[in-house]
Structure formats: C-alpha cells, structure tokens
Structure 1
Amino acid sequence: MTDTRTRRHGTELERAILDAAWAELTEVGYTALTIEAVAKRAGTSKPVIYRRWPSRAALVIASWAQRQPIQETVPDLGTLRADLLWLFTRVATRMDVMMSQTIAGVMAEAFKHPEVQELLRERLDSAPLTKSVWRIVDNAVARGELRPIALPRRVLRLPLDLLRSEAVICGSHLPEATLTALVDEVYIPLLKGLALD
C-alpha cells in the first residue's frame, strides 16, 4: 500500500482521487460525501486533495467532468429537428447516468457559496454541449433551415437547463415524448425567433 502511495503523481494521482470521489458519490450521495472518505478510498491524504480542489463541490464538479464522454462528432441527420432530438436524447441519457441527487447536491451547494456558483458556471459554459449546439445550428444554416444566428450563452446552455428542470419536476428519466415536446415547442421556436432578428 505504501509503495502505491509514493509512486503515484500528477495525472495518475488525480485520476485515483476523482475515481474515489465518484465511487463515494455513487455509494453515499453528495450530502454524506466527505473529503476524508475520498482520501481514504484513494489512498492519499486530505491536504493532497485540498491542494487540487479547494472544496467538496469543486471536487465533485471535477469528478463529474471526468465522466463526460469524449466529445464525439455531432451527426448531421438532415434536419434541425432530427439533430436536436439526437442532442436532447444524449443529454438526457447522460443526466440519468449522473444521478439526479448528485446534481441536486452540487446545485444546493452552489446557492450557498458564490465560488461554487462560479465553478459551476465555468463548467457549464465550457461543456461540449455548447460546441454541439453551435455545430447543429451551423448545419441548419448551411441547409437553409435557419438564417445566420448569434447564440447567446444562455441559449447555448438551454438544452441542459430545460432537461434539468424537467427532471426535477418529473423525475430523472425523461420519456421520448417530453424530449420531443422540448425540441418542438421550446427550442426550435426559440432558434427561429432569434434568427429573425
């Protein structure tokens, strides 16, 4: 055990800590997660963790980010609607995997601590989701379905915000009909309205 602790550094050590944090989240949930338990599981110490992540929420956000799938090419399915349905389905599936109680715990922490709000905002703004939305809109513009459009930050994040809101109200698993309604009744009309300006 001692040998393992002394030879792990850098990326290898960080990966072990993030894996340990995710395992703790899975087993005990956000509110019961402690840095001490993560350190024990990772075979390291609390100071080592705090040097990299200043708070429990920062550690959880980093662990969450590590579980993002490698950004894949956004398919061009031939229509704006089909592309958006693909995207909304991908995000909803990911939300199921990310455990709604974990997301709720991080959000609750964000309300209490401005520095966590900033971390979460940075994470959401740099997420692969925003690049995917841009690609889908660019494809629609190239096909003539939309006029050229400038997408505000909140519009880029809106698919996640809409799905998260629905999950809080209706439960974590969102049926296909809900995803279709969000695309048809909210997001496509919004994009078309922005393109008119």
Structure 2
Amino acid sequence: MLTATLAILDTDGYGGLSFEAVARRAGTSRPAIYRRWSGRAPLVLAAIAQRLDIPEPPDTGCTLCDIGESFGVFLTAYRSIRPEVLSALYAECAPDPELRTRYLQTLVEPARTAVGCALDRAIAKGDLRSSIDRNLLLDLVGSLVHYRAMFGPEHLGDTEAEHAIEMLLQGAAVDYGALLAHSEALKQQHIGGSGNHHVHIAQ
C-alpha cells in the first residue's frame, strides 16, 4: 500500500491521492487501508518515511566530504518527493498537533540526522569549534532544505547545497583552510581510481 501511495503521489500529486485510488493500485480494499491508517495524511507520512529511510552517514576521514555527502544523500531522497506534495501535506497536518509532530519527524528530522553524525565526529576530532551550537547548525541545514521545497520554485540543487554547507562550515570550522586542503588531497587520490566524492566543497 505504501508503494502504491508513493506511485500515485509521483504521478498525480497530493490532490490526486485517495484511499480508493490506493486500493485500486495496491489490489486491496478501502477498509483494509482504514484498518491501518485513519486518514490520507497518516498514510502519506508513512509512505514518505519509507522513501526517506536513508543509510548511515559515511565516515571517510574527510570532514568536509562526510558532511557534504551526508547532506547529499538526504537531498537525493528528499528531491524524489514533489514540492507541492510537501506543502499540501503540511497544510493538512498543521492544525493537528500530533500530525504536525509526525510531519516534522518524517520530513525535517532525517536531514538533521544525516548531517548530525558527521558534525559530531567533526567536533570530536577538533575540526569544528566545540563552542558551536550544534542544534542551531542542524536547524539551519534542515530548515534550508524544507523552506526551498515548500516555498521555492524547486528543490535545493546540488550546487546550492554545496555553497550552503561551505558557508556554514566556514563559520564553524577551527581551520577551514586545512579541512579544504585535506578534502582536495583526498579528491586527487581518487581521480582515476574507484570513484570521486559525490559532494565537493569548493573554495
């Protein structure tokens, strides 16, 4: 049923999704769906949560690469959801405190989690200042992704994500130049090898 829900959201958007449509596509009945989900919003939240089940953040030993890659992994999954689906879903969830909390947990927290582990490692290694407000930094990352999807013409792009991470880390790093040099050295080692880092932080 969740796969059928995602397929309908991809083709018809939030407005085109109904329990009848999901039942037809999944080869089941409306009562079967109602037994598991009380309404359209809970069903869609469950489906989106399945799509945003991202893997563990990488640990390559390169702070800039790990943070950028963690952000990029989440963005790849997040951009698979149509922006109008996100805004319509939030409009339905906002009046209900429980649904609103579930919306935030499903669509905002994954971005924080994806980058949070990499930030924690960087702080522990001494690459980022221990005095930074970790939660505020994660709020900036998560809110940027969500704001662009909700109110912008399109999702945050790769280049914009790269620049955003660069600006944030220039203010948080103990020695941003050293981190950048380390990232560039590792990138050169990978050229002609098995692969490159997916997200490159430019100077």
TM bucket (normalised to shorter chain) is 0.7 to 0.9
Correspondence 1:51 to 2:32: no
**Conservation of the 8 A alpha-carbon contact between 2:23 and 2:33:** yes
Q: TM-score, normalised by structure 1?
A: 0.72
Residue in structure 1 matching 2:46, options 62, 84, 89: 62
DSSP 3-state at the match of 2:157: coil
User: Cα distance, 1:170 vs. partner?
Assistant: 4.5
Q: Answer whether contact 1:91 1:160 (CA < 8 A) is retained.
A: no
Contact 1:74–1:132 (CA<8 Å) still a contact in 2? no
Q: In 2 relative to 1, CA 64–107 (structure 1 residues): closer, same or farther, beyond 3 Å?
A: same
Provide closer, same or farther for how the CA distance between residues 71 and 145 of structure 1 changes in structure 2, counting only shifts above 3 A. Answer: same
Secondary structure of the corresponding residue to residue 184 of structure 1: helix
**Are the structure 2 counterparts of residues 69 and 35 from structure 1 closer, same or farther at C-alpha, using a change threshold of 3 Å?**
same
2:21 counterpart of 1:37: yes
The equivalent residue for 2:117 is: 135
Aligned length: 172
Q: Provide the secondary structure at the position in 2 that maps to 1:92.
A: helix
The correspondence for 2:6, drawn from 22, 44, 48, is 22
RMSD: 2.7
2:89 equivalent among 90, 101, 106: 106
The residue identity in structure 1 corresponding to 2:72 is: T
Give per-residue Cα distances to partners, 1:142-183, cap 9 Å, x unaligned.
32112446633x64454232122234324225141x112311
For 2:65 and 2:6, locate their aligned partners in 1 and report how far apart those are by CA, in whole Å.
33
More helix by share: 1
1:162–1:49 CA distance, 2 compared to 1 (3 A): same
Q: Which amino acid aligns with 1:109?
A: E
Q: CA deviation at 1:112?
A: 3.7
Match of 1:97, SS state, is coil
Shift of 1:33: 0.9
Give the conservation status (yes or no) of the 8 Å contact 2:123–2:129.
Answer: yes
The answer on 1:119 being equivalent to 2:114 is no
When normalised by structure 2's length, the TM-score is 0.70
Identity %: 31
Find the counterpart in structure 2 of residue 11 from structure 1. none
Amino acid at match of 2:58: V
Instruction: Tell me if 1:188 matches 2:169.
Output: yes
